[in-house]
Amino acid sequence: MRRSIFSLIRRLSVDTPSPALKQLPTFVAFAIALLLAVLLPSVVITLPVAVFRGSVIMILATLLSLYFARLRRVTRWSLLVPGFSLLAIALLRNGTGGTTSLFSVLIILPVVWIAAEKGRRWVVVAIIGTSAAIMFPYFANWDLPANAGEWIRGVFTPFVYGVAAAIINELSRQARHQLASIQRLAREREVRLKETLSLAEQLQENQQRLHAADRFTRSVLDAVTEQSVIGTDLRGLIDVWNPGAAMMLGLPASETQGKRHIFEFHSGDELENRSRELNYPPGATVLNPGFSALVESARLGIAEVRDWTYVRSDGSSVSVAVAVTPRVDEEDVTVGYIFVATDVTQALEVARLKDEFVGLISHELRTPLSSILGYLELMRDDNEAPLSEEQLQYLSVAERNAHRLLRLVGDLLFTAQVASGKFPLDISQIALNDVVAGAVESARPAGSAAGVELILYVPEESIAVRGDALRLGQACDNLISNAIKFTPQGGTVTVSLESTDVDAIITVRDTGMGIPESELDQLYARFFRASTATRNAVPGVGLGLTITKAIVIAHGGQLDVESEEGVGTAFSLSLPLPRRP
C-alpha cells in the first residue's frame, strides 16, 4: 500500500493532468456551443465557413492533445493545443455574430491552461491570446472597431482575463511548490522507510548472530571441563562460571554467579603478598586490594600467566596457573575480566620430582667424576712411570671430556638450585668493568680458535654494582661463549658496558646466524636449543641461557634479546645501580 502511494506521488508532476485531460473541458464546451448554435433559433450562424473551420481546428487541437498525452515526457510544445483552441473559439465567435457572439466566454478555458504554466511570461501570453481572440472578428473582416467602447472592450476584457491569468499563475506556482515539497517529502520518507527496513533487517540478523554467538560461547564454555573459566565484572563479582570451574572448586554456577567474588576462592596470604609487590603509592584509591592484585597486570594491558592457589568449597587447596584477560565491549572499554585456570598440581609434582632426580644424579655423578679427574692427574704426574706422547694425548682427551661432564653436572646442580630458589649469592660491592673485561679475556682463546674477533668497549670510569662477582662473571661467560659458538669464522663479537641513571647495561652483540623470531620466547627454557643451533650442529645442551637468566633475575636485573636470522643477535643484561644518598 505504501509503495503504491509513493509511486503515485512520484508520477505526479507540474504537467498533470495530461494535455488530453486539460483539453477535454474546452472541447466539450466548444461542442455544446456548436450544438446550441445549430439548434437554437436565437443564435444566428452568420459565417458557416468560419464555424466549420473553427470546428476542424478544435478537432485537430484535441487530437494533438491526445498525441502529447501519449508521450512519456510532456514538453512545452503541448501549449500549441490551447493556442489552436483560442483560434478555433475566435473562428466560432466570428461565425456566430462576431463581437456580439454569445460564446466569448469559452476563451477562459484555454487561457486557464496557458496561465497555469510555470513562469510569469505565460500571463503575458494569455493576455495576448485573449486580446487576439476577442479582436479576431475585426481583423478577419477588415473592419476596425466603430467606437471607443469597442476599443475599450478589446483592451479591458484582456486586462480582466490577464488579472485572472495572473491569479491562476500564482495559485499554480504555489500548488507546484507544494507538490514539489510533497514529492520531496515522499522521496525522503521512502528513503527513510527503506533505511528503517534495512536497519530492521540488519538488527534481526545481528540478533540472530548474537544469539548464535552466545549459544556457541556457552557450548564452548560447557565443553571446557579441564580448565576453570570464570568471568567477573569490574569489582570481581562472578557472572560466568563454567563446568570446569564447578568441577575444580566444587560449587555449581547457581551458587556463585551474582553471589560470590573471585578473590574469595584465592589464598589470602598470596593476595596480600601480591598487593605488597604492587606497592601502591600513598594516597592511591584501591577499591579492593585483593581483586586489584589479581587483575593489575591485565588492567595495564600486560599479558600474564601467574601461579596461584585456589581454595575449594571444602577448604582444600589446588595449585593453578591463571591467565587473566580483560573483557571489553563494542567500544573497546573494559567491562570485566576473564580468569582461565589450569590445575598444575600434577605438573608441579612432576617438576619437583624431576629437579630431585637431576639433583640426585648430579650429586651421584660429581663424586666419581672428581675421582676420575684426580686419578687422571696422578697418571699425568707419575714420574716413576712416565707416559708416552700417545698415551698423554689419550689422557688429555679423557681429561677434557671429564671436565666437560663435570661442568655439565655443575650446571645441572645450579639449575636445580634455581628451580628451588635456593642458590647462594655472595653479595658485595664489585667493579663491573673488571668482571666484563675478565670474561672477555677468558674467552679470547676460544674466539681465536674459532676465527672470531672479540671487541671490548668499557668506560674508563668504574661502574660499581652490588652483586656476586663469580655469578655475574658466569653470566657474562655464558653470553660471550654462546656468541662465539653462533658466529661463523670471520665474524665479530662486541661486548660493551655502559650506564644510565639507574642501570648498568652489558651488551653482547654478534654477527652470527641469529635466532628465529618465533623461538625468542623459548630461549630461557631448560634444554631448549634454537633451530639454527641444531641445524648448524652448534654444540651445547641448552642450559647456559637458563642459568644466565636466573643469575640476572636474582640480582634484580633484566635480560633482553634482539635477533634477526642471518644477521646476528644482541643480548642486553641490565643491573640496577646502587641508589645514591
* 10-residue mean pLDDT series, the chain (581 residues): 42 57 81 80 76 84 81 73 78 73 74 72 70 66 58 62 68 74 84 86 82 68 72 88 86 88 85 74 55 81 80 86 85 86 78 66 65 73 74 76 70 64 77 90 88 90 88 88 88 92 91 83 72 64 77 87 88 85 54
Residue environment code for 539-568, b if the CB has 16+ CB neighbours within 10 A, otherwise e:
ebebbbbbbbbbbbebbebebebebebeeb
Strand ranges of the sheet holding 238-241, from the earlier edge strand across to the other edge: 238-241, 227-232, 334-343, 317-328, 305-311
Report how far Cα 424 is from the mean position of its chain's Cα atoms: 51
Residue 566 confidence (pLDDT): 84
Burial of 411 (0-12, 13-18, 19+ CB in 10 A): buried
- 55-80 residue pLDDT tens: 888 888 888 888 877 877 766 777 77
Query: What pLDDT shows up at residue 112?
Result: 74
Cα 253 from Cα 230, distance rounded (Å):
10
Is 306 exposed, middle or buried, given 0-12, 13-18 or 19+ CB atoms closer than 10 A? Answer: middle
pLDDT tens-digit map of 92-144: 777 777 666 777 777 777 877 777 777 667 666 766 777 666 666 666 666 65
CB burial readout 85-120, b (16+ within 10 A) else e: bbbbbbbbbbbbbbbebebbebbbbbbbbbbbbeee
**What pLDDT score does 284 carry?**
46
Alpha helices per DSSP H over 224-242: none
Per-residue model confidence as pLDDT tens digits over 187-216 = 888 888 888 888 888 888 888 887 776 676
Q: Let me know if 463 is exposed, middle or buried by CB neighbors in 10 A (0-12, 13-18, 19+).
A: buried
Distance between terminal CA atoms of the chain?
A: 88
**What one-character-per-residue DSSP string does 162-226 give?**
HHHHHHHHHHHHHHHHHHHHHHHHHHHHHHHHHHHHHHHHHHHHHHHHHHHHHHHHHHHHHH--S
Q: Give the single-character DSSP code of 281.
A: P
Q: Are 319 and 299 in contact (CB under 8 A)?
A: no
- Residues 82 and 120: their CA atoms lie apart, in Å, by 17
Q: What does the pLDDT read at residue 150? A: 56
Span(s) in the chain for CATH 1.10.287:
348-420
Please name which of 381, 484, 480, 366 lies closest in space to residue 414, comparing C-alpha atoms.
Answer: 366
Task: Give the model's pLDDT for residue 424.
Answer: 73
Query: Of the candidates 263, 367, 364, 347, which has an alpha carbon nearest to the alpha carbon of residue 309?
Result: 263
User: Among all chains, which residue has been given the C-alpha cell 639433583?
Assistant: 359
Place of cell 671429564: 402
Q: What are phi and psi of 42, to 5 degrees?
A: -70, -20
Task: Output the nine-digit C-alpha cell for 264.
Answer: 574469595
Q: How far apart (Å, rounded) are the C-alpha atoms in residues 563 and 507?
A: 13
According to CATH, the topology of domain 224-343 is: Beta-Lactamase (3.30.450)
Q: What's the grid cell of residue 497?
A: 658496558
CATH topology of domain 428-576: Heat Shock Protein 90 (3.30.565)
Say if residues 415 and 358 touch (Cβ distance below 8 Å).
yes
Compute the distance between CA of residue 277 and CA of residue 274 in angstroms, rounded to an integer: 5
Counting residues of the chain whose pLDDT is more than 90, the rounded percentage is 6
Q: Over the stretch 327-353, which tens digit does the pLDDT of each residue have?
A: 888 788 888 888 888 888 877 777 666
Phi, psi of 388 (to 5 degrees): -75, 170
pLDDT at residue 496, rounded to an integer:
92
Identify whether the C-beta of residue 45 lies closer than 8 Å to the C-beta of residue 94.
Answer: no
Classified as helix, coil or strand, 72 is coil
Query: pTM, whole model, 2 decimals?
Result: 0.43
Cell of 41: 433559433
CA torsion sign for 154, 155, 160, 163 is positive
Selection from 416, 411, 385, 387 nearest residue 399 by Cα: 387
CATH class, domain 348-420, is: mainly alpha
Rounded to whole angstroms, the Cα distance separating 573 from 476 reads 9
pLDDT at 454: 92
Q: Where in the chain is the domain with CATH 3.30.450.20?
A: 224-343
- What residue has cell string 465567435? 93
Kindly state the helix (H) or strand (E) to which residue 498 belongs, with its residue range: strand 492-499
Please tell me the chain's helix, strand, coil percentages from 3-state DSSP, rounded to the nearest 5: 60, 15, 25
- Amino acid at residue number 53: R
What's the full length of the chain, in residues?
A: 581
Residue 234 DSSP symbol: T
68 within 8 A of 82, measured Cβ to Cβ: no
pLDDT at res. 1: 42
Which of 547, 555, 548, 544 is closest to 430 using CA atoms? Answer: 555
Which residue intervals of the chain bear CATH 3.30.565.10? Answer: 428-576
